[in-house]
Structure 1
Amino acid sequence: MKRRFNLLPIILFALAFLLINAYVLSGLSTIFHQSWLAPVFWLAVIGLSVALFFAITKMRRSGMNKFFQIISHAFLILLGSELVFAIFLIIGDLYRLILTVNSNFTSAGFHWVARNNYWVDFSLFMFAITLALFAYGITLGKYAYRVIKHTLFFDDLPVSFDGFTITQISDVHAGSFTNPVAVQKGIDMINAQKSDLFVFTGDLVNNAASEIKPYLGHFSQIKAPYGQFSILGNHDYGDYIKWPTEADKVQNLQQLKEYHKDLGFKLLLDEHVELIKNGEKIILAGIENWGIGFGERGDLEKALRNTNVNDFKVLLSHDPSHWDAQVKQFPSKIQLTLAGHTHGMQFGIEAFGIKWSLVKYRYKHWAGIKTENNRYLNINRGFGFLGFSGRIGIWPEITVIELKRKTENN
């Protein structure tokens, strides 16, 4: 049966978009007294909206294309900047309303207090700042790699692994890259950490295995003394595009697994390995993607089969919802879980003690270290980007974790 298309959300969004633009135009008209302003403004807004409609129509028929990316990003940048302008403008108008009400208590006739032009100018300034942030995020921010270091302490860490270091990246999404030189900069930063172990926690591509092929030479440069290990993320299975046949989809996944080998990554598929140092060991396990709403493929019990309760375990699991659902209460203690998936939504604020992103309304903990039940979770913010071709405030991350044995002194 053909799925019924629901027009209501589109109509509501269109009405909200028109109201926002009408309000923004009212603010611009306060400081720009030009007869041509309104027709030019609406011509630009309607023109961009029509272009977006055709871009979406073309994308639905033939898949992602450059035209859609350009138009959708232009629309997103305009809408985001207008929202900032409108938020500051409405703060000024609310204050103006208060002044109007107060003044009419003491006067015989009703009259509106005029808008403060300086506040409108400031709102326009914030609009310009937002445009500049988007421009930076799209051009440079998406490749502005950051190294984030954590030192974690454990009572039960084998003595030989005291000071052992792990470099983690996640969510490469190779199909989104457009600048191989910038990507190489990130690879050089990974190798510069000289960690004992390298792990990749899923989403090597957006959809097709072929996306990583141009970057095999880049990521195959990553080396660590105790090896390079990887897992699959939800995008790696090819679930988000239509394949000619089911066999093509299966072949794509098989090809992706081969590319992991070409990169020098040992792909862990519901399995584990033992890392040995001076006769002592830690367990490194990896599962297939397990995420609420994103496919619950992984089998944790299978991955840890033939391990002991007292073994020190590090788990690679792409989606952090798996940690909340299973890992943090798993009978066999998993001391450290490394995840990704959220990207921090590639947009947010992490400065001046503020940590906020829209993704927090989907994942309560969406980046960095979390501890509960004497177990740790680290969520990497992602190495690449997807959807929005940029990053603002949530920069691409290379995580370095040092494992330390807890003593009386720490």
Structure 2
Amino acid sequence: MKRRINLLPFAIFTAFFIFFNAYVLSGLTTVISSKILITIFWIFVVTISISILYAIQRMRAKGTDLFFTIATHLFLIFFVAEVIFAVFLLFGDIYRLILSVFSNFQTEGFHWVARSEYWVDFALAIFGLTVILFIYGITKGKYAYRVIKHTLYFDDLPDAFDGFKLTQISDVHAGSFTNPKAVQKGIDLINEQKSDLFVFTGDLVNNAASEIVPYIGHFSQIKAPFGQFSILGNHDYGDYVKWPTEIDKIKNLQQLKTYHADLGFKLLLDEHVELTKNGQKIILAGVENWGIGFGERGDLKKALQNTLPNDFKILLSHDPSHWDAQVKEFPSKIQLTLAGHTHGMQFGIEAFGIKWSPVKYRYKHWAGLKSENNRYLNINRGFGFLGFSGRIGIWPEISVIELKRKLN
């Protein structure tokens, strides 16, 4: 017996999609009266819609390829720009509806106040600006590395580590890179910081260990006097692709661990190391990925086994939800946690006192520093990119944190 397919949701979505585009077109024809425009608009909408549907179907069978990337990005750029244009257009229509009601209050019948061509021109300018921003994000923004520096003060930091500096990056996603020269600029910027310690907080690849191979020569250049340390992120386990066998998946993870060593990174798997200086020490611990909805593999107790409550501790944990769930209330104080994972969704605004990204609706704190219970969390915005091959407003980050002893 064949399974019956419910076409109602598809029909509703199609009707809404047609209505939405018709509304956008009504705004365009306010300032550009042309039958050719109408024809070109609908041909473009239909073409890009068929392309994205075909790309998704193709991806399910063959994985992502250049066609999938082009189709999804064209659709994303056009659709987001349309939505922004439609929002501005709607504000203008609501305003003219109010004007129409008041102007016709004492007259018979109802007559619309005409749309303001100036307002539609403004909405169209915003449409164009959106397209330009997306093009910049795809071509330049994804490699526009930023160094973000923090100085943190602790009353329990060992004296020998006063002024100790560390550099953190996260979420490399090497399989997304297409420009080795641009990546090298990021590597050079990391080394320019001349930090005492370098840490990487997970997601070296998108899925397959082989993705990092073309960039081993780049990331192996990163050196720090106290070493280079790393952890795994949710993508590193290969959970998001179908493997021929479970053994292939296991081999992929083992190979990825080998590549960490080839990079010169000491991979911390629910374990810790002691960093010593002038007879004093701090603890650097790392856990396997622990994230709500992304696999709770990490074992914090195991990672801190044989450490003391009054030891100064830095924890590497890929997913910031771990900090809220376990770390900030952990009986043995962890002074600083370094995470990544969110990417700041690679889209948002951090300017003029505004800090916003759609990812805030999934993670309350999604980038930068947070402090609670005299413990700090730093969420790196990511070195690479995933899904959307670009960044807009949330630029790739190199975090530099200096530890200072608080004076009594």
TM-score normalised by the chain length of structure 2: 0.98
Is residue 373 from structure 1 mapped to residue 373 from structure 2 by the alignment?
A: yes
Aligned to 2:36: 36
Aligned to 1:362: 362
Q: Which moved more, 1:354-363 or 1:38-47?
A: 38-47
Aligned to 2:164: 164
- Measured in 2, the distance between the counterparts of 1:3 and 1:285 equals 52
Q: Which moved more, 1:83-92 or 1:8-17?
A: 8-17
Aligned to 1:138: 138
Aligned to 1:151: 151
- Measured in 2, the distance between the counterparts of 1:320 and 1:118 equals 46
Aligned to 1:401: 401
CA distance 1:118–1:353, shift in 2 (3 Å): same
- Measured in 1, the distance between the counterparts of 2:3 and 2:341 equals 29
- Measured in 2, the distance between the counterparts of 1:163 and 1:242 equals 47
Aligned to 2:117: 117
Deviations, residues 250-306 of structure 1 (Å, cap 9, x unaligned): 000000000000000000000000000000000000000000000000000000000
Aligned to 1:96: 96
Written as runs of structure 1 = structure 2, the 5 A alignment for 1:225-240 is: 225-240=225-240
Which amino acid counterpart does residue 189 of structure 1 have in structure 2?
L
Between the aligned residues of both structures, percent identity stands at 76
Structure 1: segments with no counterpart, 5+ residues: none
Which amino acid counterpart does residue 18 of structure 2 have in structure 1?
L
Aligned to 2:200: 200
CA distance 1:213–1:9, shift in 2 (3 Å): farther
CA distance 1:49–1:325, shift in 2 (3 Å): same
Which amino acid counterpart does residue 337 of structure 2 have in structure 1?
T
CA distance 1:81–1:253, shift in 2 (3 Å): same
Aligned to 1:105: 105
Deviations, residues 343-378 of structure 1 (Å, cap 9, x unaligned): 000000100000000000000000000000110000
Is residue 321 from structure 1 mapped to residue 316 from structure 2 by the alignment?
A: no
Root-mean-square deviation (Å): 1.4
Structure 2: segments with no counterpart, 5+ residues: none
Deviation at 1:187, TM superposition (A): 0.2
Deviations, residues 117-137 of structure 1 (Å, cap 9, x unaligned): 000000000000000000000
Deviations, residues 32-56 of structure 1 (Å, cap 9, x unaligned): 1111222221111011101111111
CA distance 1:162–1:352, shift in 2 (3 Å): same
Aligned to 1:178: 178
- Measured in 2, the distance between the counterparts of 1:355 and 1:14 equals 35
Aligned to 1:337: 337
Deviation at 1:5, TM superposition (A): 7.8
Deviation at 1:175, TM superposition (A): 0.1
Written as runs of structure 1 = structure 2, the 5 A alignment for 1:303-322 is: 303-322=303-322
Deviations, residues 43-87 of structure 1 (Å, cap 9, x unaligned): 110111011111111100011111111000000000000011111
CA distance 1:393–1:301, shift in 2 (3 Å): same
TM-score normalised by the chain length of structure 1: 0.97
What secondary structure, in the 3-state scheme, does the structure 1 residue paired with 2:104 have? helix
Deviations, residues 301-334 of structure 1 (Å, cap 9, x unaligned): 0000000000000000000000000000000000
Aligned to 2:246: 246
- Measured in 2, the distance between the counterparts of 1:218 and 1:227 equals 17
CA distance 1:254–1:375, shift in 2 (3 Å): same
- Measured in 2, the distance between the counterparts of 1:340 and 1:18 equals 39
- Measured in 2, the distance between the counterparts of 1:344 and 1:89 equals 28
Is residue 80 from structure 1 mapped to residue 80 from structure 2 by the alignment?
A: yes
Which amino acid counterpart does residue 366 of structure 2 have in structure 1?
W
Aligned to 1:53: 53
Deviation at 1:109, TM superposition (A): 3.0
Is residue 266 from structure 1 mapped to residue 295 from structure 2 by the alignment?
A: no
- Measured in 1, the distance between the counterparts of 2:12 and 2:370 equals 38
- Measured in 2, the distance between the counterparts of 1:9 and 1:402 equals 54
Deviation at 1:10, TM superposition (A): 5.0
